[in-house]
Amino acid sequence: MFKALPHKRNEQLRKALEKGMKKHGDKLTYYDTTEPNCSPIENIRFVIGIKNNKQCTDGIHRFVFDKGYDRKNIHSHSYSEWLHWSIRYMPDWPETRLLFNAPHDRIHTLRMKLLPLKKNGTVITVATSSQKYCDCHNLGNATEYATDIIRQIKEKSNRKIWYRPKPSFSSAVPINGTHYNRTKGSKAMKTLFNKTRILITDGSHIGARSVINGVPAITLDGGIGHSVTGHSLDNLEDPYWPDEKKRKNWFADIGYSHYSIPEIESGLAWEIMKQKL
């Protein structure tokens, strides 16, 4: 069962997934999420982005599609097409990778390089998610959640704190005692990672991006970066950093957790996804 709003980008993904599943003898049905009274019987659910707490806790096999880890767009259509889609298997939370101990042959698709550990950063960056994410994971009010994290950090460290809420979180507001950072784009992110000693997040992709960019991270709520990050605010001054073999193997796993539309259409993505069932 594919659940999504009737958006052109979502429709493109649905058609590609439908073709890919058909090549393996499987069928996909579609549920328009603007129809709240529709309650279909389903065995596997495919959703785009975090939806609500019920969809996070009802025990159904659930794959969540989102923007690819390379964050690249293709502007060849009347809408912004994502170069890759990331795919997470949520019942494995806090780990969400599709494949573990994967071959290294898809690393090139990430269009990113593993940067060495940075040692010159001085600030602690708190990069938490939106209210939608907090609702799904029972974290309460998103701003209050971030404020509490910042309070705990201040009890343990005198370092300057940058607060960078998810850019799409339109209701975000500055938090006292922090530098409010709302910048976007590759140059802005490069500056952020260069200045950051350690990044704190919930289960956001930015935890993984931090490790890729050579900055230790603490993920407090799982996610794709869970196995290569710390999980406690007690380690702010001596943050966990994975050895290079572990980081490279994890990077290879991420390569098997995101796919282009042609790869989804070919059945390659579904071939890997089926291994989780």
- pLDDT for 92 equals 78
Same domain, yes or no, for 150 and 70? Answer: no
Same domain, yes or no, for 80 and 160? Answer: no
Separation CA 6–CA 121 (nearest Å): 43
* 176-229 pLDDT tens trace: 999 999 888 888 999 999 999 999 999 888 999 999 999 999 999 888 999 999
Same domain, yes or no, for 149 and 231? Answer: yes
| 157 located within any domain | yes
Q: Minimal CA–CA distance to 252: which of 105, 85, 114? A: 105
Indicate the range of 24-38, 60-74, 195-209 predicted with least confidence: 24-38
What share of the chain in percent tops pLDDT 70?
A: 87
Count of residues in the chain: 277
Same domain, yes or no, for 180 and 269? Answer: no
Q: Minimal CA–CA distance to 189: which of 151, 162, 220? A: 162
Residue 124 pLDDT > 70: yes
| 250 located within any domain | no
Separation CA 264–CA 258 (nearest Å): 9
| 247 located within any domain | no
* 220-262 pLDDT tens trace: 988 899 999 999 999 899 999 999 999 999 999 999 999 999 9
Q: 139 near 221, Cβ under 8 Å? A: yes
More confident residue, 270 or 49: 270
| 19 located within any domain | yes
Structural domains in the chain (count): 2
Rounded (5°) CA angle 268-111-102: 45
Give the domain CATH number at 170.
3.40.50.2000
Q: Minimal CA–CA distance to 86: which of 112, 120, 123? A: 112
Residue 38 pLDDT > 50: no
Max CA-CA distance within the chain?
58
| 106 located within any domain | no
**What's the token pair of residue 196?**
């950051």
Same domain, yes or no, for 129 and 232? Answer: yes
**What's the token pair of residue 125?**
């960056």
| 252 located within any domain | no
First to last CA, the chain: 15
Same domain, yes or no, for 89 and 167? Answer: no
Same domain, yes or no, for 206 and 130? Answer: yes
Rounded (5°) CA angle 168-172-178: 120
Same domain, yes or no, for 264 and 203? Answer: no
- pLDDT for 34 equals 56
Sheet containing 2-4: give its strands across.
30-32, 2-4, 44-48, 61-67, 85-89, 258-259
Same domain, yes or no, for 17 and 90? Answer: yes
Structural domain span for residue 86: 2-99+257-276
Instruction: State CA 36 to chain mean position distance.
Output: 26
Same domain, yes or no, for 138 and 235? Answer: yes
Same domain, yes or no, for 79 and 161? Answer: no
Taking CB atoms within 8 Å and a gap of at least 24, the contacts of 166-171 are 166/127, 166/128, 166/129, 166/130, 166/133, 166/204, 168/130, 169/129, 169/130, 169/131, 169/142, 171/131, 171/142, 171/143
Same domain, yes or no, for 133 and 201? Answer: yes
| 80 located within any domain | yes
- pLDDT for 51 equals 60
- pLDDT for 213 equals 96
Q: 72 near 3, Cβ under 8 Å? A: no
* String of DSSP letters for 196-207: EEEEEESS-THH
Q: 199 near 206, Cβ under 8 Å? A: yes
Separation CA 175–CA 165 (nearest Å): 10
Compute the chain's Rg from CA coordinates: 19
| 251 located within any domain | no
Residue 85 pLDDT > 80: yes
DSSP 230: B
Residue 60 — very low, low, confident or very high, per pLDDT cuts 50/70/90?
Answer: confident
Residue 172 pLDDT > 70: yes
